Structure 1
């Protein structure tokens, strides 16, 4: 039998384990043109929370009583498709199943000799691609500028900070523990860090950590931290809206300060980013990230949870900040 994880409830507020249900189905068999895949590593990401809601977005919501899905690294166990051979490893958007069939559409082969398989869900996967492409498209980083990053110890944020250092910027990160601040500085090369859980005045904390103001703010959390960054933004500043994890479990949309005056007076560019809009650029981006990785210019951190049965809990743990770097489940 084949194990599957279905979404059975649409959560209000923070998701619970009861929103997921483990089921079994017959082991799949391939037809002509298909491949049989065995999941090896499954990515759990904050954006999946939005897909649990039945609302219009940039990607369709999950169906109830149907499998969840995310980016997965899988091994080809059998093939009747000339583009894939038994023993190949691939990554792509796949179901939360131990085994599944695919026609190969949307799958990319990966080389386990160039990097660990789990890296293709993080630094060489959608998180690394998000960091690299968004900075190239929106940030226009210049040497000597100050780059402020929230969610800075996470998979996207830590990559953003390292690219900022490659570009010659002063990089300041925001995270939720002193341990994460140490990780940012010691492993990822950030110049300064702010523990938002230890400050009652984020505007003042950002001002102190960024004495020359903020030229580029990379936002992964939204809410009050975004407010603080905008209160310290420089003339012609750029804000990249990549995520808003502080709001994902809100039962009602909170109302915050009105920032239109700042945006106008400082002629600030504030732009949202979806990596899926830039699929044609993935190849070149992965090549650059892989080169930096091999040269030791960037590194990555992973929190690896083992066991298919632990996927839902690993997903919930993201919202408690229990991950350092990319959260991945090893099957």
Structure 2
């Protein structure tokens, strides 16, 4: 491949979002593939991940948000996220062979120029992209390193149809949970969670107070809380929690996906006396920081569970880079299931 003459297509931020994130905030632009250096590889991307964290990155004024974990996007910037692709050019010192299937961090474009040292070579060409690009490893690390599942535990997973939650409920079951309860936004997703993912009960927004729904779904209380949402869902689950309950906090979608003002501030009112009297533990957890060494363990474990037929890797796939902005719009609106991928 003559890298400097190949036309690339990339998804760029066209203008900042001030409210709901829409496909029109982004544009697919043609540009040249950058000239690779000796330690670079050129990758033809085959899949890349669409993450709702982009909602915060694309917000006007994101650069002023203290503690933002991702680089803020400016108009004209190309988006980036985890991707899998085939190496079609390899620099003399890159250490990665042409034809290798690799994972890297420069999705949202058809071709990527990546340092060989920043690529992970995947052993099998028949890889399920959802295993590597999905957040199963985040859920697995949280349920093995962030908290411990005891045999027969009742586990509550908020946002149970999302990229993390759709895996967390299944993983909790395999680790010994006796009853798994989830939350979601629509009856359609609730039905899918119960019939496809094996949730024992699902509570939904708009179907009455969440605390009343949780009391019905967990008459014997909750032992483990896996929270991605915050707000009312977190406070309600703590109110229904048993003595010694363990809570691992993985996100705060009430803040990240706020249609008026995405932010890192996620205030919630909790009953501190109940947390003390019940001897509960609450832990914030980031798989990339607290358990980065768990990724390989997750890959091997999910392969074993897949062979046994006891777990699936839910994903929603959009085909073609032109569909990527729509995929992001729908993901941020909470209308999709599992990890969201774009296939090129």
TM-score, normalising length from structure 2?
0.88
Match of 2:226 in 1: 218
- Aligned residue number for residue 323 of structure 2: 310
Q: 1:284: how far off?
A: 2.0
Determine which of 270, 286, 299 is the counterpart of 1:286.
Answer: 299
State the partner residue of 1:257.
269
CA deviation string 1:211-239 (max 9, x = no partner): 11111111111221112111111111111
Q: Partner of 1:172 in structure 2?
A: 181
Q: Which residue of 2 aligns with 1:230?
A: 238
Match of 2:87 among 71, 76, 82: 76
Q: Distance in 1 between matches of 2:312 and 2:270?
A: 38
Verify: 1:192 aligned to 2:201, yes or no.
yes
Q: Give the direction of change, closer, same or farther, for the CA distance of 1:6–1:180 in structure 2 (3 Å limit).
A: same
Tell me the secondary structure at the aligned position of residue 30 of structure 2.
strand
Does 2:22 match 1:3? no
Unaligned runs of 5+ in 1: none
Q: In structure 2, how many angstroms separate the alpha carbons of the residues matched to 1:58 and 1:235?
A: 34
The one of 152, 156, 160 aligned to 1:148: 156
Greater relative contact order: 1 or 2 (C-alpha under 8 angstroms, separation 6 or more)?
A: 2
* Pick aligned residue for 1:30 from 21, 30, 36: 36
Find 1:104's aligned residue among 106, 116, 130.
116
Residue matched to 2:340: 327
Counterpart selection for 1:86 from 98, 107, 127: 98
User: Per-residue displacement from partner, 1:23-66 (whole Å, max 9, x unpaired)?
Assistant: 22213332312111111111111223233322232624234132
Higher mean C-alpha displacement, 258-267 vs 163-172: 258-267
Q: Point out the more displaced range, 248-257 or 66-75.
A: 248-257
CA distance in structure 1 between the partners assigned to 2:276 and 2:68 by the alignment: 28
Question: Please, which runs of 5 or more residues in structure 2 have no aligned partner?
Answer: 1-6
The answer for the alignment partner of 1:17 in structure 2 is 23
SS at match of 2:66: coil
3-state SS of the aligned residue for 1:231?
helix
Query: Aligned-pair distance for 1:139?
Result: 1.9
Runs of 4+ in 1 over 6 A off after TM superposition: none
Kindly tell me the number of residue pairs found equivalent between the two proteins: 326
Aligned 8 A contact 1:62 1:68 in 2: no
TM-score (norm 1): 0.91
